[in-house]
Amino acid sequence: MALGTPFTPLIRQRRNSTPDPATLARVEAAPQASPLDLVTAVLAPTAPIMPPFNGTSPAEVHTWVDTFEKVMIHHSSHLTAKAGDKHRASTFALYIARGTPAEIWWRGLGPAVQESWAQIRAVLNVKWVCPEPEVTKTLDYWRDFNSLKVTLDDLVRLIPLSTGGVRWGYRDWIDKVEAAGEASGSAPDVLIATVIASLLPADITNLVPPAAPDWPTFCAMVRSLLPETVKERVREAREKIAQREATALLLERTKEIEQRLAEQEQRHAARGRGYVPSQTPPPGYRPRDHSSSPRRQGDGWFFGAVPASNAPATPGRQRIPAQRPPSPTPSPTPLNMQRPLGSPAPIPTTPQRRPREQVPQTPGTLPGAVGCTRCGMGEHSQYTCMGKPLPEAEQRWREGERRRAYQSARGTYSAQQRTPHAQQLVDAYYYSDDGNSDYPAVYSLNDADEDDELDFVRGIAYGADQGNGDGVAH
């Protein structure tokens, strides 16, 4: 009978790889060397690189086991099925982390289970139950299909590709719509109607076919559209949107104008009605009557008597106050003797002013109040104008503008000093301190007598009769 350990077959099958002598001597010299440590020392150089097996959660455990089986296919491809099963079991023991729930579970297994990967996998499935995969329901697929809405900008956008080219946005969008529609499992008619009614913009029309034999054919027809056709449909949709926004803005402005006019009418109506008390007067109170005049009380009115209009009101009887005081009776005059006594005088009416004539101004000319009124250029007079005359209507309009400018400036201060009146010259001479006027002298004071100077001034101011008779200073 050959001597050896239970792990001798595992060591013999890896004859091509020699373990590190230092590692093997350290394991054998250890006081409590276990078979697991011996297998780890022998098979460590040839084990695949993977994270340790912790056994913390079922999802993590089954993910790790699936990855482990994929990796071990390459490492055990040259072995038989039985030898490969043992090889997987022995390699699995290398990845069990120390001090974790996986190590406690592993040490509780028997030797027969530890040497067979099929038994290890069966016990592992019982220990860590595989979670049920998340099944996507039909409603979720339908929700994803309805979320693929596209905008006008996305239809004509160029999407760069990794290969260096570009792709139109409507073709990329129809690919996503086709995949989501197939996953939803809905009928082709329902999918096509949903695309036209919900996924495409509401203002775009005649872009996709209204019907198709099946869903893939419809998507292929949309994918084969020319970029020029898509651009034209997008341009028409944008024009519709702009027209609708302009109409909405116009309606809003019209409503504001109507509301403003209604408020103005209410203000004018309230201003014309006069004073109206906002609260009902208390019982027994009679407001003052504007018509309580001694001349209107009739016979029998005397000093100290209570007029009928000022008598206390009877309970339960209230008189509505007058909206405005009555017009006083005018005294008879020759002008109103023809109308009945007491009738209101007619309100004089003035004819409405003729509206100003709106005349377009010729481009390149000066404003109406400046420049020549005949040609519209320069500062010369219309009587010496040699330029091309303007139309007759514009010439009349310019004359009116010049006249209105002069009338509006009447009575204002002018920087130009005007010619003083003759009386101002006399007053300035009499009341000045030095006897000289502040205005420019129109005569000389060097060779004339003072009396002759006064006669000369008076002759200029009031004529020759106020002087010595000849209006000349002697």
Separation CA 27–CA 264 (nearest Å): 106
Statement to judge: residues 172 and 113 lie in one domain? no
Q: Which residue from 177, 187, 184 is spatially nearest to 208, judged by alpha carbons?
A: 177
**Is 396 part of any domain?**
no
Domain match, 63 and 152 both: no
12 and 78 housed in the same domain: yes
Whether 151 and 227 share a structural domain: yes
The verdict on residue 441 lying in a domain is yes
**Amino acid present at 205:** T
Q: Which of 234, 251, 286 is the last residue of a domain?
A: 234
Q: Is residue 243 part of a domain?
A: no
Cα gap 427→434, rounded to integer Å: 13
On whether residue 362 sits in a domain, the answer given is no
Flag whether 20 is in a domain.
yes
Extract the runs of DSSP E, i.e. beta strands, from 93-246.
158-160, 166-168
- Is 187 a residue whose pLDDT tops 60? yes
Q: Write the pLDDT tens digit of every residue in 238-297.
A: 999 999 999 999 999 999 999 999 998 888 887 755 555 555 666 665 656 555 554 544
User: 356 vs 303, which has greater pLDDT?
Assistant: 356
pLDDT at residue 188 tops 70: yes
- Does the residue 77 lie in any domain? yes
Residue 3 has pLDDT above 80, yes or no: no
Is the entire prediction scored with pTM above 0.85?
Answer: no
Helix ranges (H only) for 161-226 are 169-184, 188-194, 215-223
Whether residue 101 is found in the same domain as residue 54: yes
Closest alpha carbon to 207 in 174, 179, 181, 254 = 174
**161 and 186 together in one domain:** yes
**pLDDT tens digit sequence for 304-337:** 444 554 555 555 555 665 556 666 666 666 555 5
> Does residue 14 sit in the same domain as residue 108?
yes
Regarding whether 123 and 167 lie in a shared domain, the answer is no
pLDDT surpasses 80 at 174: yes
Domain boundary among 190, 209, 234: 234
Average pLDDT over every residue of 211-233: 91
DSSP class per residue in 328-389 = PPPPP-TTTTTSPTTPPPPPP--PPPPPPP--PPPTTPPPTTSS-TTTS-SSS-GGG--SPP
Residue 388 domain-assigned (yes or no): no
Burial of 424 (0-12, 13-18, 19+ CB in 10 A): middle
Poorest-pLDDT segment among 72-81, 142-151, 256-265, 345-354: 345-354
More confident residue, 157 or 457: 157
- Mean pLDDT, rounded, for 407-434: 62
pLDDT(120) > 70: yes
Half-sphere exposure of 131 toward its Cβ, with a 13 Å CA cutoff?
10
Question: What is the pLDDT, as a whole number, of residue 297?
Answer: 47
CA dist 389 and 312 (Å) reads 82
One domain, residues 77 and 157: no
SS3 232: helix
Last residue of a domain, one of 209, 234, 259: 234
How does DSSP classify residue 197?
A: I
| Residue 204 in tokens | 């775009």
Domain that holds residue 444: 422-466
Question: What is the total count of domains within the chain?
Answer: 3
Q: Residues 165, 225: one domain?
A: yes
CB-based contact 233:204 (threshold 8 Å): yes
Among 262, 270, 266, 206, which residue's Cα sits nearest to residue 237?
206
Is the domain of 89 the same as that of 158? no
* 329 vs 3: which has the higher pLDDT: 329
Co-location of 19 and 107 in the same domain: yes
- Residue 70 resides in a domain: yes
CB neighbour list of residue 55: distance below 8 Å, 6 or more residues apart? 61, 100, 101, 102, 105, 127, 128
Single out the residue of 152, 258, 165 nearest to residue 205, CA to CA.
152
Q: What span, in angstroms and rounded, lies between the C-alpha atoms of 68 and 95?
A: 10
